[in-house]
A and B are shown apart, each in its own frame.
Chain A
Amino acid sequence: MSEYAGQDQGGASVGLVAPKSYTFAEPPDPLHLESGASLGPITLAYETCGTLDADKSNAILILHALSGDAHVAGYHRQEETKPGWWEYMVGPGKGIDTNRYFVICSNILGSCMGTTGPGSINPQTNRPYGLDFPVVTIGDMVEAQRALIDHLGIARLLAVIGGSIGGMQVLEWAVRFPERVRAAIPLATTMRHSALAIAFNEIARQAIMADPNWREGHYHGNTIPATGLAVARMIGHVTYLSDQAMRRKFGRRLQDKEDFSFDFDAEFQVESYLRHQGSKFVERFDANSFLYITKAADYFDLEHRGGSASAVETFRRAQAKFLVVSFTSDWLYPTYQSREIVRALKKNGLDVSFCEIAADCGHDAFLIPNARLTSLISSFLDRVTHETGH
């Protein structure tokens, strides 16, 4: 998602933000995971912008997607040129207005951006976990976030907002801690991966695991599986775009040349773009984290959650007001999947709004500056704030 950050540097910004962290689940009280395993201690990297009200009623938790981090908006250092990943949406006077709301974003469990994950040191061996790291679920990620929200002394969140895998966390929050969420905004997401989505994730994981440098996940201190991770990212990237966006962006244009060179260099612009995205990703992301997070997304299924027979049954617990948003060209989580969420919410008599935004840029549309999305989110937050009496 980082390639979009920096597209909106013109407006106001939250400015400097300080990375923070919170450590919990220390022995003898580890976090019990859905798999039956337990994990601890756990450190969550998080950032906050805006000011928490005296009655702590204006807190918004933003949930990031696969490769995101806690750095949602603003800058870490004065001289930095690249802001947080949702700079266009989060800031003073923006869609999620930091003059009014207290925004929290934490790096998800299993990731590699400061939160405990497979690249962290296993206290039992004093070496990185690697594949000894237990498989975590979307539910486990949310459970960890709940510990952070407890730590911040916030009883009830005004809203939980996120796209893609972040949207899955939004839905999980709404059913796991219904009394702690006033409003839920799942964007470009699904309540269960389709075979298509699982298939792409599996191909990406295979690319990593087929890299000889992966060494069953214990590559730390050695050469990292850079080729595998780069290919995994390239696959992912294609699923985030759309046929139309790729025709517009690349077509069949060649990169820096007029004619075919009849070899296997990156000739087409799309090839060169994907290679660039792949190698950029390798610099900042951990291959094992990619495996763990994609697996968590594949396991996520609100239709069969905790013995539920249907999504309608799962959402029976939910209390939040919902704003569900999909994008026309998203072929990873197409609109029909958002409609399935909406249907289950409606059948429970919940207050749900739904909008399908026309956008040709595919799944990534929620990360690209979009005036409509901005106004939908800001007016929904405004409404929820008023309706809850603040």
Chain B
Amino acid sequence: MKPAIKPLRYDLEIIASWIEPGSRVLDLGCGEGDLLFHLKTTKGVAGTGIEKREDKVAAALTRGLTVLQGDIREEVADYAPNTFDYVIVSQTLQQVFAPVELISTLLAIGRRVVVSFPNFSHWKNRLQLLIQGQAPRSSQLPYEWYDTPNIRVITIRDFRRFTRTVGCTIYRETAINTHQHDRYGSIVHFLPNLRATYGIFLIGR
């Protein structure tokens, strides 16, 4: 009755590789629990997911995961300091209203926080703005200005500056370039802020 393991999205694969076996993980905006399921089955991780949508919560629960339906902001407030080894916010930060408060809370409840986000300063975005004079749209940012859930514009450089503002340490940092429904990708070493579609950071107090 074990559900089949779907191949992970490329950025989730990178994140998964950072998580130590047997650790306690909180995944914010876990969707159908792809990452948590992978971590649970391959690394024996004790994971909890938080997801807003009922259908996704139900799908994740059906895979035998621990999931809470709710709003990220409210749900994280209930945990005691150091409840988790890792708190993961993958591709969600750009949709958060109060990022400073959220990241500060996460740094308290988790020993380490993993943050991934679409890099708005990717050259294609820059070109769209420069040449066409329109708000960037791409496979990572497929929305119009009027229907986008992304209310924060984050670049890799901006996030580094943000960590200084919040007063936390960057323990790891990877920039990636993904293609084909984000299934495949590569790590970007040269000019990441220009060439990477996503930034992934491991931060801590």
Contacts and interface: CB of A to CB of B under 8 A. Distances in A.
A202 interface: no
Nearest to B51: A355
B2 to A, nearest CB: 9
Interface in B173-203: none
Interface stretch (B64-72, B88-96, B100-108, B124-132): B64-72
Interface in B35-90: 48, 54, 57-58, 61-70, 78-80, 83
B82 to A, nearest CB: 11
Given A356-B54, A380-B61, A347 B80 contact: yes
Q: Place the interface of chain A in its size category.
A: 20 to 34
Interface in B1-37: 1
A349 B80 contact: yes
Contacts, number: 52
A332 interface: no
Contact of B54 (A321, A339, A357, A382): A357
B186 to A, nearest CB: 36
A354 B68 contact: yes
Nearest to B2: A386
A152 interface: no
Contacts of B69: 354-356
A358 B54 contact: yes
A379 B62 contact: yes
A372 B56 CA distance: 12
Interface in A320-356: 321, 323, 339, 342-343, 346-347, 349, 351-356
B70 A372 contact: no
B71 to A, nearest CB: 10
A310 to B, nearest CB: 13
Given A342-B68, A346-B79, A349-B83, A379 B54 contact: no
A16 interface: no
Given A339-B70, A343-B78, A346-B78, A376 B64 contact: no
Nearest to A349: B83
Contact of B62 (A357, A375, A386): A375
B64 A383 contact: yes
A355 B54 contact: yes
A372 to B, nearest CB: 6
Contact of A351 (B1, B58, B66, B70): B66
A355 B58 contact: yes
Given A346-B79, A347-B78, A382-B1, A353 B58 contact: no
Contacts of B48: 351
A305 B78 CA distance: 21
Given A339-B70, A352-B66, A379 B78 contact: no
B189 to A, nearest CB: 40
A42 B61 CA distance: 40
Interface string A377-390: 00110110010000
Contacts of B57: 355
B68 A375 contact: no
Nearest to B59: A375
Contacts of A379: 61-64
A351 B26 CA distance: 12
Contacts of A372: 54, 58
B60 to A, nearest CB: 9
A386 B65 CA distance: 12
Given A339-B70, A342-B68, A382-B1, A353 B78 contact: no
A375 B1 CA distance: 13
Contacts of B66: 321, 351-353
Contacts of A353: 61, 65-68
A382 B64 contact: yes
Contacts of B63: 379
Contacts of A382: 1, 64
A182 to B, nearest CB: 14
B1 to A, nearest CB: 6
A376 B57 CA distance: 10
Q: Residue among A356, A372, A379, A383 with the most chain B CB within 10 A? A: A379
B44 to A, nearest CB: 12
20 contacts: A321-B66, A342-B68, A346-B78, A346-B79, A347-B78, A349-B80, A349-B83, A351-B48, A352-B66, A353-B67, A354-B68, A354-B70, A355-B57, A355-B69, A357-B54, A372-B54, A376-B61, A376-B62, A379-B62, A382-B1
Interface of B: 1, 48, 54, 57-58, 61-70, 78-80, 83
Interface of A: 321, 323, 339, 342-343, 346-347, 349, 351-358, 372, 375-376, 379-380, 382-383, 386
Given A353-B61, A376-B58, 8 more contacts: A346-B79, A347-B80, A354-B69, A356-B54, A356-B69, A376-B61, A376-B62, A382-B64
